[in-house]
Amino acid sequence: MSDVDVLESVLTKDAALLAGVSGEQAGAPTPCPGYDVRALTNHIVGWVRVFAAAANERSAGIDPAEFVSTDPVAEFQAAATELIDGWRTRGVDRSVRLTGPEVPGRMALAMSLMEYVTHGCDLAIATGQDVPFSDDELALTLERARATLPEQFRGEGKPFGHIVEVPDDAPMVDRLLGFMGRQPSRAVR
């Protein structure tokens, strides 16, 4: 299975998670520091639009930090389809622009896997849904994260927390969440 195939599966599962969020859960906290369910939903939808635009060699025309979704499930599904189509038709062996300088396409693809598996786990945990990702999806994402996420992006005021150590034989979801700076004991499958 290619990374694009795995991302497509992950995005399909994220769409189902978004559809499972009730209005009463909007203010609930998430494992992602500083985000309640509403803010996380907007983040998830805003960034999939940015990734889709990059994969299709155009500007998203939005600031993902300020984006507010009016129909999260429909907007997410449309952008997710566009994202996968962009990688399939244009390939990943090229440079793309997200919100800053160009990055290698494979790096952007790895970043999207990290984004949508980790935040999918965050959303599932926050809303009492099962974490839907397979061990294969989690393992590939962890492998890509280890190759892509440098230490300088971790810590106070940075996008990622410090690595939370977990045993090597811990469930794959715990190993990924620990690497992404989350407390893995909160991951319920």
Per domain, the residue ranges of the chain are 3-138
Q: Which residue has the tokens 């794959």?
A: 172
* Average pLDDT value for residue range 28-55: 96
Length of the chain: 189
Contact indicator for 176, 145 with CB cutoff of 8 Å = yes
pLDDT of residue 187: 47
The DSSP element (H or E) to which 104 belongs, if any, is strand 102-104
Tell me how crowded residue 26 is: count the other CB atoms within 10 A of its CB: 14
DSSP string, 44-67: HHHHHHHHHHHHTTS---S-TTT-
CA 118/CA 141 separation, integer angstroms: 9
pLDDT exceeds 80 at position 22: yes
Collapsing DSSP to helix, strand or coil, 96 comes out as: strand
Q: Which residue has the tokens 């906290």?
A: 29
pLDDT exceeds 60 at position 186: no
Which range among 46-50, 137-141, 181-185 shows the weakest confidence by mean pLDDT?
181-185
pLDDT in tens, 55-111: 999 998 989 889 999 999 999 999 999 999 999 999 999 999 999 899 999 999 999
pLDDT of residue 185: 65
Pick the CATH number of 3-138 from 3.40.640.10, 1.10.3720.10, 1.20.120.450, 3.50.50.60: 1.20.120.450
What's this model's pTM, rounded to 2 decimal places?
Answer: 0.93
pLDDT in tens, 126-181: 999 999 999 999 999 999 999 988 888 888 877 788 889 999 899 999 999 999 98
CA 127/CA 36 separation, integer angstroms: 10
CA 137/CA 87 separation, integer angstroms: 18
Q: What percent of the chain has pLDDT over 90?
A: 80
